[in-house]
Chains A and B, each alone.
Chain A
Amino acid sequence: MDWAALWLSMRLAGWTVAILLPVSVLMGRALAYRQFRAKGLVEALVMLPLVLPPTVFGFYLLVAFGRNSPIGDLWQSLFGHQLVFTFQGLVVASVIFNLPFAIQPAQRGFEAIPVEVREAASCSGMSPFASLWKIELPLAWPGLMTAMVLTFAHTLGEFGIVLMVGGSIPGETKTIAIAIYDRVQGFDDRGAATMSAVLVAISLFTIAVTYWLSARVGRRLS
């Protein structure tokens, strides 16, 4: 059982969710409420990571911020080492390829709020922020939660992109999914089985907690 790899995966998923939560609120909300000419394009771009094969996506990410790319060089000059093959590089990649999981359900959640309810909030004297906090978030909460759970679970399992952008560096980029793969290659079936079981257990637990929370929220709203 590679606890370091598990912890790394949890941390990666945790950071991804932490960064994407405000993004999903802001972008999900903007896409839900506004109509603008480029909206179709933006939505398509957000969905892109879903339809691209992970290795293709990983390749493009490498091109975008690997060595000899503007972003890579910038990172190098700021921190003295490359962005790829580091945990931070994985976080960047993870945030990008989880965009559809984080934004789409959130957008649906906000879209489900009737326009008149939001208008009533303004008419009741609530500033846009007050309206977000008191009215919209409580109503869009199920969508946001779905988004975060999907993001978390997806990150725990992501393999191809992590491998390409991160390599398999123990303690730095060797996630549990890669560790399992490693075990299989090393003819350690028992190790692979143990880690797989743990991963499944965590995923099920996450989903169960989410449904429980969701039911609680649902009861409050009805």
Chain B
Amino acid sequence: MIFNRHSILAILAAIGLATSPLAAQNDAPIVAAASDLQFAVAEIAEAFTAETGMEVRLSFGSTGNFARQIREGAPFQIFMAADERFIADLNTDGFTRDEGDLYAVGRVVLMVPNGSPLTPDETLDNLAEMLAAGQITRFAIANPDHAPYGMRAREALIARGLWEELQPYMVLGENVSQAAQFALSGNAEGGIIAYSLALAPEVAPRGAYALIPEEWHEPLRQRMALLNGAGPVAEAFYAYMKDSTAREIMERYGFVLPEDT
């Protein structure tokens, strides 16, 4: 018969193997963190594991996206948002344990890839000139609809009077990491991304940046909270975030820390 014993056994074995449940390696709590924390919190998590032997799993994305997922029952135990409004809303609706803690204040920067005709300066004058001269083809920011860093970028551009003009060339990243990716890919003249990303060792060599004046946008008050159902490991990591090692790392990534404000 076509299905001789060997082929049937092979097929069954393959299916059995493929469908076997994973050994329960993953009781480690999952942290939902805004994309601007991509490198900073990864480092902090490593330090956490090295020091305590406990593990957390990290998931990075846009704040707005995470907030939605949490409302739909996503199994995160900590939420580190890039905008405290999201935490407040979740708290009001009963998804967090409490109002959480302000853990950092972020900044946005104009970053351009190496070789870009655009030069980064905090006045954005060069950007305005190039725009007027029709020399801008693509400019990346995070999606202002659900990413706080995108919202701030928009505010800054409006403040500087460049928002309308820049519209036709705008490329929106799903989150600020993707915006950074677009901005530095060589396909755009640059973009507005998170300061913490611009400082990251993986990103810094790829271009040059300039800090955008804080007065041009709402502050990026980044708040975190423990979510309902958070366990002891999550609590430990939460505490660790507020502790000195973590704070040092955050400072290195350009974050302004709460006691300093």
**A213 contact set on B, CB distance < 8 A:** 7
6 pairs of A and B residues whose beta carbons are closest in the complex: A14-B18, A82-B73, A171-B26, A185-B177, A138-B2, A170-B57
Taking beta carbons and an 8 Å cutoff, which residues of A are in contact with B? Answer: 7-8, 10-11, 13-15, 17-18, 62, 66-67, 72, 76, 81-82, 84-86, 134, 137-138, 141, 167-172, 174, 182, 184-188, 213, 217, 220
Residue of B7, B25, B30 with most partner-chain A CB within 10 A: B30
Counting chain B residues whose Cβ lies within 8 A of the other chain, the interface size class is: 35 or more
A184–B72 touching, CB < 8 Å: no
Known: A62-B72, A169-B59. A10 touches B1 (CB 8 A): no
Query: Chain A binding site: helix, strand, loop or mixed by DSSP?
Result: helix
Instruction: Decide if B116 is an interface residue (CB 8 Å cutoff).
Output: no
**Complex Cα spacing A67 to B7, Å:** 43
**Complex Cα spacing A167 to B25, Å:** 19
Taking beta carbons and an 8 Å cutoff, which residues of B are in contact with A? Answer: 1-3, 7, 14-15, 17-20, 22, 25-26, 28, 30, 35, 38-39, 57-61, 69, 71-75, 175, 177-178, 180-181, 184, 200, 202-203, 206
**B18 contact set on A, CB distance < 8 A:** 10-11, 13-15, 17-18
24 pairs across A/B with beta carbons < 8 Å?
Answer: A10-B18, A14-B14, A14-B18, A14-B19, A18-B15, A18-B19, A67-B72, A67-B73, A82-B72, A82-B74, A84-B74, A85-B74, A141-B2, A167-B59, A170-B58, A170-B59, A171-B25, A185-B177, A185-B180, A185-B181, A186-B177, A188-B202, A213-B7, A217-B2
**B28 contact set on A, CB distance < 8 A:** 171
**B7 contact set on A, CB distance < 8 A:** 213
B30–A169 touching, CB < 8 Å: yes
**Complex Cα spacing A10 to B14, Å:** 11
Nearest residue in A to B65 (C-beta to C-beta)?
A167
Residue of B60, B72, B177, B180 with most partner-chain A CB within 10 A: B72
